[in-house]
Structure 1
Amino acid sequence: MKIGVITGGHTFDVIGFHRLWRSFDRLDCYTQALEEWAVDFERYGSRYDVLVFYNMHTALPEDCPGGRRTRQAIDALGDGTGIIVMHHGILAFKGDCVWDQIVGMTDRTIDGYSHDEHLTVQVENPDHPVTQGIEDWMLIDETYDFRDVVSESNEVVLTVDHANSMSTMAWTRSYKDSRVLNFVFGHDDQAWSDPVFRTVLEQGVRWTASRSNDK
């Protein structure tokens, strides 16, 4: 299973992040900058089972690195390829109607953030494939002071109850023919190295990929 992991617009712990994606023995993961993915898409089309967006470019896609190619690649999403929007990726492409539909929120304004918070993560739907076999656990991660997700088209699967955090931390939805997982966790290696975090992320990859594999 081929996974495209898209970065840029925000710094991160390179070694820790690559270690995370290399830890999944059955996933073939390719980390790349936004513009590299966009140019690659223009040349070859869709090449991945799942795309993970870990970028934080806040301009519209056409004004980001890659320009026109980035706009075209974003507009082509929803073809059945799985989509995971991870951590600060939820804040990307402010005001873009396509990204609003993928995330499931139209107002993606952040009021604040806090590092190294101890969070009790609550599993809202233990029967969902993303959270199957997962029980409530403690995770150290960055929090966002952000409005919660409210929509019948979003299925919330993970929440927290913390003064410095939005409560909805992972939710699933559909965008055109693609399954989408929005996953707020994942700031740094404190989260990436957590075994439960890794299990949820891998199960999320496999769930979003399943529609692509049915094509």
Structure 2
Amino acid sequence: MALKTAVITGGHHLDVPAFYRMCRALPGVDAYVQHLADFVASPPEVRQAYAVLVFYTHLKGELNPDELGLAPGRRDTVRSVLDSLGSRAQGIVVLHHSLLAFPGWDVWDAVVGMADRTLTDYTHGQPVPYHVADAEHPICAGLPDDWTMTDETYLMPDAAGDNHILLTTDHPRSMRTLAWTRLHRESRVFCLQGGDDPRAWDDPHYRTLLVQGIRWCGRKDSF
């Protein structure tokens, strides 16, 4: 059975047809693309029915209903909904600019596993070499040890501490760690720095990573 997955956007422009095309093509994933405001406005039982939440947001200060344009009758705020992440075994995938969302908020720091998420530079359209750091992990299954993908680089601190590093790079304008897993309370979390535009979304290795990351977070470690 396909994993029911919420793909949560907002705060950053994207190529809508290409993004939806990628989400619809992920095998074993039943993707529901929605803005964070719509996710928050959904009843709790709807939010909880997703096996995995994929965040592709770049929202910064929108932590209350007014800033997201939610109806006055909606009592759940972005802050309370995201603060509840990890209270149940619902997988969490954090993609690309979602690493930078809600700067300075300790809850999102804990989800991502980075106390310092300060971005000092970024560069579009870079040939990024990927190196597999843990070939035994289910998310890396079937990937070559090394490959190159065109994407946007982030120069920012590396993931460290209790994060389990899966992919690294030696690109001089990028953070070294590109993908990692962690536990946030009861949730499995997969963070992937890549994924800026269709050049990454259409890369077969990126799609493999995303599918296997979603499956691992949803506790479906093998096909």
For the pair 1:192 / 2:194, whether they are aligned, the reply is: no
Deviation at 1:69, TM superposition (A): 2.2
Other-structure match for 2:116:
107
Q: Residue 39 of structure 2 contacts residue 47 of structure 2 at CA under 8 Å; is this kept in 1? A: no
- TM-score, scaled relative to structure 1: 0.93
Deviation at 1:114, TM superposition (A): 0.2
Q: Residue 60 of structure 1 contacts residue 95 of structure 1 at CA under 8 Å; is this kept in 2? A: no
Hey, what's the Cα distance between the residues in 2 that align with 1:45 and 1:29? Answer: 13
Identity %: 40
- TM-score, scaled relative to structure 2: 0.90
Deviation at 1:44, TM superposition (A): 3.5
Hey, what's the Cα distance between the residues in 1 that align with 2:18 and 2:191? Answer: 21
Hey, what's the Cα distance between the residues in 1 that align with 2:211 and 2:63? Answer: 27
Other-structure match for 2:170:
161
Across the aligned residues of Structure 1 and Structure 2, the Cα RMSD in angstroms comes to 1.5
Other-structure match for 1:91:
100
SS at the partner of 1:61? Answer: coil
Hey, what's the Cα distance between the residues in 2 that align with 1:121 and 1:45? Answer: 34
Aligned with residue 188 of structure 2, among 175, 179, 187: 179
Q: Residue 180 of structure 1 contacts residue 208 of structure 1 at CA under 8 Å; is this kept in 2? A: yes
Hey, what's the Cα distance between the residues in 2 that align with 1:14 and 1:186? Answer: 14
Structure 2: 5+ residue runs without aligned partners?
none
Hey, what's the Cα distance between the residues in 2 that align with 1:201 and 1:44? Answer: 23
Other-structure match for 1:139:
149
Aligned length: 210
Deviation at 1:204, TM superposition (A): 0.3
Runs of 4+ in 1 over 4 A off after TM superposition: none
What whole-Å deviation, never above 9, does each CA across 1:142-177 have from its counterpart, x for those lacking one?
Answer: 0001111121x1000001111110010000000010
Other-structure match for 2:12:
10
Q: Residue 84 of structure 1 contacts residue 205 of structure 1 at CA under 8 Å; is this kept in 2? A: yes
Structure 1: 5+ residue runs without aligned partners?
none
What whole-Å deviation, never above 9, does each CA across 1:91-130 have from its counterpart, x for those lacking one?
Answer: 0011111111010111111001000000110000000011
